[in-house]
């Protein structure tokens, strides 16, 4: 039986493939533009907007598990409609499904959000993610919807690359001091998703780190870890910018953590405990 990773060429998808193949799971993966580097996965091109192609891939792979780690941004067809179509196919074939969602489904009005919190998105991306969650669980009640936050790693994430570019002066922009999230390491996230997939739980789960940090604070932690001059990182406030988005969104993952043997480490632990201000999500 095969594990199918939708969006396998992405940052999270690549880590899911690495861990699944290390566990000797037969693994297939899809890509939108080009396949990833994992040689042990069987790769399939897939435009999630193409319903017939999705059905063909599912039929050919005949997976026991599908993890949807794709990212379509605010494209409604990819981010909202396609995951529901995937869930319908998985339910029809009796396939276990884990769908990766986002803290963008929340406005930040409440700050702290557990799994019982109702989505109230304020961006097109958040609205698409929220619609996907609702549709998936309506057509495939046994599915897992796993909300996460900023994904970091050992240098390969978009957040880490941004910090390097800002520190080098090769990119304009600023790291917001009032935009607070609960980052998670990609290895912890992938392990938690595979662990949830192997169990019998269904419904919404929060899979994020315990530390609430601003994007600027996260940048400082990354810079210190990587030997960069943190003083070169420009700071700003989202409230002073034209960019839409929630400010303070803290996923409370304690209920899910109690079910997992995987430890979801916080940003400070991951980034070597560098000194930083801020409060724990459980505060």
Question: Hunting for tokens 């409609």 — which residue is that?
Answer: 81
The confidence score (pLDDT) of residue 276 equals 41
User: Would you say residue 283 has pLDDT above 80?
Assistant: no
The confidence score (pLDDT) of residue 195 equals 98
The pLDDT of 219-245, averaged and rounded, is: 95
Residue 151 or residue 278, greater confidence: 151
The confidence score (pLDDT) of residue 273 equals 57
The pLDDT of 245-253, averaged and rounded, is: 97
pLDDT per position as a tens digit, 119-168: 999 999 999 999 999 999 999 999 999 999 999 999 989 999 999 999 99
Q: Which residues pair with 31 in a beta bridge?
A: 45
The confidence score (pLDDT) of residue 71 equals 87
User: Would you say residue 275 has pLDDT above 50?
Assistant: no
User: Would you say residue 199 has pLDDT above 50?
Assistant: yes
User: How do beta strands 184-185 and 151-152 pair?
Assistant: parallel
Rounded distance between C-alpha atoms, residue 80 and residue 72, angstroms: 9
User: Would you say residue 272 has pLDDT above 90?
Assistant: no
pLDDT per position as a tens digit, 161-198: 999 999 999 999 999 999 999 999 999 999 999 999 99
The confidence score (pLDDT) of residue 39 equals 80
The confidence score (pLDDT) of residue 277 equals 39
Rounded distance between C-alpha atoms, residue 106 and residue 93, angstroms: 32
User: Would you say residue 282 has pLDDT above 90?
Assistant: no
Overall pTM > 0.85 = yes
pLDDT per position as a tens digit, 10-68: 999 999 999 999 999 999 999 998 888 888 899 999 999 999 999 999 999 999 999 99
The pLDDT of 221-242, averaged and rounded, is: 95
pLDDT per position as a tens digit, 156-165: 899 999 999 9
């Amino acid at each position: 039986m095969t594990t199918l990773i939708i969006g396998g060429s992405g940052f999270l998808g690549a880590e899911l493939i690495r861990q699944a193949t290390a566990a000797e799971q037969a693994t297939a993966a899809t890509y939108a533009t080009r396949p990833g580097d994992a040689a042990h996965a069987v790769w399939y091109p897939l435009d999630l907007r193409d319903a017939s192609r999705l059905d063909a891939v599912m039929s050919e792979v005949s997976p026991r598990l599908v993890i949807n780690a794709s990212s379509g941004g605010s494209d409604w067809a990819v981010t909202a409609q396609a995951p529901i179509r995937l869930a319908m196919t998985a339910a029809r074939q009796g396939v276990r499904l884990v769908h990766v969602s986002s803290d963008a489904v929340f406005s930040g009005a409440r700050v702290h959000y557990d799994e019982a919190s109702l989505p109230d998105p304020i961006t097109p991306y958040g609205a698409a993610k929220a619609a996907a969650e609702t549709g998936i669980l309506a057509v495939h009640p046994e599915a897992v919807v796993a909300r996460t936050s900023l994904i970091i790693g050992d240098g390969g994430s978009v957040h880490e690359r941004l910090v390097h570019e800002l520190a080098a002066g090769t990119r304009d922009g600023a790291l917001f001091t009032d935009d607070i999230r609960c980052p998670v390491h990609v290895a912890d996230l992938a392990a938690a998703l595979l662990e949830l997939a192997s169990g019998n739980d269904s419904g919404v789960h929060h899979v994020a780190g315990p530390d609430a940090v601003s994007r600027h604070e996260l940048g400082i932690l990354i810079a210190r870890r990587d030997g960069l001059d943190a003083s070169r990182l420009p700071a700003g406030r989202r409230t002073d910018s034209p960019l839409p988005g929630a400010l303070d969104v803290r996923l409370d993952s304690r209920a899910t953590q109690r079910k997992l043997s995987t430890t979801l480490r916080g940003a400070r632990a991951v980034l070597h405990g560098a000194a930083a201000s801020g409060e724990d999500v459980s505060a």
